[in-house]
Amino acid sequence: MTRNVTLDFVRGVALLGILLMNINSFGLPQAAYLNPAWRGVPAAGDAWTWAAIGVIAQGKFLTLFALLFGAGLQMLLPRGKHWIQSRLTLLVLLGFIHALLLWEGDILLPYGLIGLICWRLVRDAASAKSLFNTGVLLYLVSVGVLLLLGMIPINEAGDAWSPGAAAVYDEKLWKLGGGLEAVCRRAIMLADQLLSLGALYGWQLMGTMLTGAALMRSGWLKGQFPLRHYRRTGALLVFSGVVIVLPAVAAQWHLGWRFFWGTWPLHIPFQLAALLQAIGYAALIFGYWPQLCRLRIVLAVACVGRMALTNYLLQTLICTTLFYRFGLFMQFDRPTLLLFVLPVWLVNILFSAIWLRFYRQGPVEWLWRQLTRRTSGSSLPHTYG
């Protein structure tokens, strides 16, 4: 099967973009991921960095990655149910290990679990249109659930939003200390994340995956539409997303990032904008691909997309080593943490470009494929290079 280099580039952009948000999870306490005022009034640099990343990246690249995951489910349908189920079950297992032993911000486990539900919906959908409508509906259901949860009166922000000094010190202690204590803490956090997946995030993730599968089935994610269509659609969707999210950013800033507003009513615009901007980013890439594909850096980022799973885990290894093993956790503010993103991106790009000169797949992708082949009973060849 001939690879879609444009799709590889979109996937690479999504993976690299995710780190713009994740770097805060690696370098700062959990509460700082969405709340720049987690320890009081933030410095101007922290506030402006939060605002800029909120408009450009928050939720957008994760949503783009989920769209492509759904597109991948559509592409895997010819493999049959045994291959797909084995592949996704192995992803769940890998995600569980990743979340428990390495980092609590794992996305592989929820992607695998929701994928095990979604692939049947993708297979049984009558048309790309019905699949797309179902995906959008489920995404809107997640918005409705968020509205309902916002009606529950909760006055206390808790340590997850505004931790006290003792909670911050405790988190720093177990993250830097590692060992069994860190595993136990991650297990507790994983249980909470699974509850959130069932109550809220799962609807959003399922809707996004089905939407991505519909875009693939229709040929939209294969680049089969006119360039003019992609350019206009991309500009419109990105502009709409920014228009939706900018007032929410301004309102949160004005309200001092209060717990209720930041987690419920004013989080909804971020969620709505994420899907619009994610599809818009993809559209712009397809629309300007004739110009983009001439750049060597673009082809290098496409290599990152071909090795997305390997590079995702590599980001975890690099960042947990820097911040937990080398003790850099809580040593830098938001603007400075962004400086760490560039060298990690460089490692991802160089490693991928060099590796794929010698091999057809990334190392983790190869292992995933071979284990899938064995557990599914497939007779596919197992050549590495």
Q: What is the pLDDT of residues 138-190, one digit of tens each?
A: 999 999 998 887 777 665 567 788 898 999 999 999 999 999 999 999 999 99
Please report, to the nearest 10 degrees, the dihedral formed by the alpha carbons of residues 155, 158, 164, 170 taken in order: 170
Distance in angstroms (rounded) separating the CA atoms of residues 190 and 193: 5
- Chain length of the chain: 385
Long-range contacts for 31-38 (Cβ within 8 Å, ≥24 apart)? 31/159, 31/160, 31/161, 31/162, 31/163, 32/334, 34/58, 34/262, 34/263, 35/161, 35/162, 35/257, 35/262, 36/257, 36/334, 37/162, 37/256, 37/257, 38/161, 38/162, 38/163
Output the CA torsion sign for 217, 223, 229, 235.
positive
Q: How confident is the model at residue 344 (pLDDT cuts 50, 70, 90)?
A: very high
For residue 384, what pLDDT is reported?
43
Q: Which two tokens stand for residue 25?
A: 């999870």
Which of 135-149, 230-244, 351-365 shows the lowest per-residue confidence on average (mean pLDDT)? 135-149
Output the CA torsion sign for 346, 352, 353, 354.
positive
Instruction: Judge whether 276 and 237 are in contact, CB under 8 Å.
Output: yes
Q: What is the pLDDT of residues 364-382, one digit of tens each?
A: 999 999 999 999 987 555 4
For residue 259, what pLDDT is reported?
87
Q: Is the pTM value of this prediction over 0.75? A: yes
For residue 153, what pLDDT is reported?
63
The percent helix, strand, coil of the chain (3-state, each to 5) is: 80, 0, 20
- The residue type at 73: L
Distance in angstroms (rounded) separating the CA atoms of residues 31 and 46: 14
Name the DSSP letter for residue 265: G
Please report, to the nearest 10 degrees, the dihedral formed by the alpha carbons of residues 266, 273, 30, 324 taken in order: -160
Long-range contacts for 37-42 (Cβ within 8 Å, ≥24 apart)? 37/162, 37/256, 37/257, 38/161, 38/162, 38/163, 39/162, 39/163, 39/168, 41/256, 42/257
Distance in angstroms (rounded) separating the CA atoms of residues 371 and 118: 22
Q: Which two tokens stand for residue 206?
A: 């399922």
Q: How confident is the model at residue 383 (pLDDT cuts 50, 70, 90)?
A: very low
Mean pLDDT, residues 271-277 taken together: 97
Q: What is the pLDDT of residues 14-41, one digit of tens each?
A: 999 999 999 999 999 999 998 999 999 9
| pLDDT of residue 260 exceeding 90 | no
Instruction: Judge whether 303 and 8 are in contact, CB under 8 Å.
Output: yes
Question: 185: buried, middle or exposed (CB in 10 Å: 19+, 13-18, 0-12)?
Answer: middle
Instruction: Judge whether 268 and 143 are in contact, CB under 8 Å.
Output: yes
Closest by CA position to 29, among listed 247, 244, 271, 332: 332
Q: What is the pLDDT of residues 186-212, one digit of tens each?
A: 999 999 999 999 888 999 999 999 999
